[in-house]
Copies of this chain bind each other. A is one copy, B any other.
């Protein structure tokens, strides 16, 4: 069995969870509730592809300095969620509302962060945005500022309570799914190890049984009854010819004893073969 990657790595997620289904669920959630979302590891590596990212954010992330600040915002949000173990709402470097949702295993260990949001909680007018842009969007080329302001104004306004509800529902769904998958993988590897152990035990017992059987056969063959009784018979007759009557009688008695013992052995063998 291939060993599992450390919990919560991209590799671990891919091995444990059907990331395609998870992607589908997050995509649909995000689209139906008009927010963006992405599932990442604790190190910020993407587990799913971005769902429903806003045009504004896509454009910001296309600029190196912008992407850098986005990552820093995401990391800050992820850290807050990780520290508190609960959903955290925060404002990104551009002024949008984001949420960091910790996804944890049944034992409480956080194994991923769902970053979602890219929304407004209230509507802006153009002047407010221009004002904010002058202070915070300094990484943007001056000539594109107007275009970015337009994109910013097109971002949907959502109800704070509603997006909180979506976050906790998505947290529940994703955590339940990952927990079911993790339980399956963990127990599967437990069962597989158990089977290997059992298989080894069966093999060992089989081997030891054959060994005992071989020893038994070997002893029985070497104590070839025909040869023994023939020899004792020759001794008996020789003693008779040489007039040694006591020797003859004792040899007969001894032969009868051996015939009894070996005969019993053969009878008990017959019983064991019929089993």
Contact = CB atoms under 8 A, between A and B. Distances in A.
Interface of A: 18, 21, 24-25, 28-29, 31-32, 162, 165-166, 168-169, 172-173, 176-177, 180-181, 183-184, 187-188, 191, 194-195, 198-199, 201-202, 205-206, 208-209, 211-213, 215-216, 218-220, 222-223, 228, 231-232, 234-235, 238-239, 242-247, 250-251, 254, 258, 261-262, 264-265, 268-269, 272, 275
B244 A238 contact: yes
A272 B24 CA distance: 62
Nearest to A165: B32
Number of copies of this protein chain within its complex: 2
Contacts of A254: 231-232, 235
A251 to B, nearest CB: 6
A28 B172 contact: yes
Contact of A180 (B180, B198, B199): B180
16 contacts: A21-B172, A25-B176, A28-B168, A28-B172, A29-B169, A176-B177, A177-B180, A180-B180, A202-B205, A212-B216, A215-B265, A216-B216, A223-B223, A235-B251, A239-B247, A243-B244
Contacts of A220: 219
A222 B176 contact: no
Nearest to A222: B261
A212 B172 CA distance: 59
Closest 6 CB pairs of A and B: A242-B244, A205-B205, A212-B212, A244-B244, A191-B191, A198-B198
A162 B231 contact: no
Contacts of A211: 272, 275
Contacts of A191: 187-188, 191, 194-195
A222 B263 CA distance: 11
A51 to B, nearest CB: 13
